[in-house]
Structures are given as C-alpha cells and as structure tokens.
C-alpha cells in the first residue's frame, strides 16, 4: 500500500507527459539564440510563463502559437510526408480539380476559368 506522499508523487508522474519534440526544439532554439524567456516574451509577445510551460510540456501550444514562435527564429512549419504509409493527394489532383471547375462552369454559365498551375515539387 502507498503512503499519501507516494500516491501524490505517483499521480503527478502519471499526469505529466514528456514535452513534444517541437516544444523541446523551442527551448533549444531559444538557448542557441541566447534569449531568456523574458527577452523571448518581448520579441514575440507570448508571455514567458506560457513559453516556459510549452518547453516543459505542461501546456500544448496551439498551431498559431507554434507558427509565431518558430517564425521568431526564422523557421516555417510545414507538413512533410514521413513515409510510404502517409496519406497522399491523388497524382491526378489537378485534372480532378479541372473537371470540377468545368462542371461548375457549366452549372453557373461562366465562360472561362483560368488554367490551374501545377504545384512546385
């Protein structure tokens, strides 16, 4: 049987998850830039206590905050496929979209839509 102190420590351990790798990267980038949490708050407008909580894994930052944080270091968040099991868009996506646009043209009586430009790979 656990004592009250042992139980309290056990519960705290269960509730705390390790920080997400992106949150660990925030701390690493901040340290590499030589910024304190206070300096970082001035630069980004995100309260130091909030950034500290992100770095420790106590809070999960919303995407908008992650974008602002990484933008402060000159990074852009992008989604890259991690392997062959990743969800992929159809190779014929442009022609599929063109067919939909053609159908909409017919329905709406629009005479001409601009040709889509293929995405940069």
Count of structural domains, the chain: 2
Say if 80 falls within a structural domain: no
CATH of the domain at 31: 1.10.260.40
Query: Distance between CA atoms of 21 and 27, rounded to whole angstroms?
Result: 10
Note whether 63 and 93 are same-domain residues.
no
pLDDT at 78: 79
Note whether 17 and 66 are same-domain residues.
yes
Give the domain extent around 112: 89-121
Q: Quick count: other Cβ atoms within 10 Å of Cβ 52?
A: 16
Q: Mean pLDDT by 10-residue block, N- to C-terminus, for the chain (121 residues)?
A: 65 64 89 94 93 90 88 83 69 70 67 58 57
What CA–CA distances, in Å, run from 91 to 20, 72, 104, 119? Answer: 32, 35, 22, 11
Say if 42 falls within a structural domain: yes
pTM (two decimals): 0.55
What CA–CA distances, in Å, run from 103 to 66, 91, 100? Answer: 39, 20, 5
pLDDT 10s digits, 82-110: 777 776 666 666 677 777 777 777 766 65
pLDDT at 33: 92
pLDDT at 9: 62
């Amino acid at each position: 049987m656990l004592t009250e102190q042992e139980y309290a420590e056990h519960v705290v351990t269960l509730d705390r998850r390790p920080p997400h790798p992106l949150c660990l990267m925030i701390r690493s980038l901040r340290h590499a830039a030589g910024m304190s949490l206070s300096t970082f708050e001035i630069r980004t407008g995100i309260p130091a206590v909030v950034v500290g909580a992100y770095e420790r894994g106590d809070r999960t930052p919303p995407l908008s905050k992650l974008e602002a944080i990484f933008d402060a270091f000159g990074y852009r968040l992008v989604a890259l496929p991690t392997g062959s099991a990743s969800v992929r868009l159809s190779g014929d996506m442009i022609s599929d979209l063109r067919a939909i646009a053609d159908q909409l043209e017919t329905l709406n009586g629009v005479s001409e839509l601009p040709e889509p430009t293929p995405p940069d790979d």
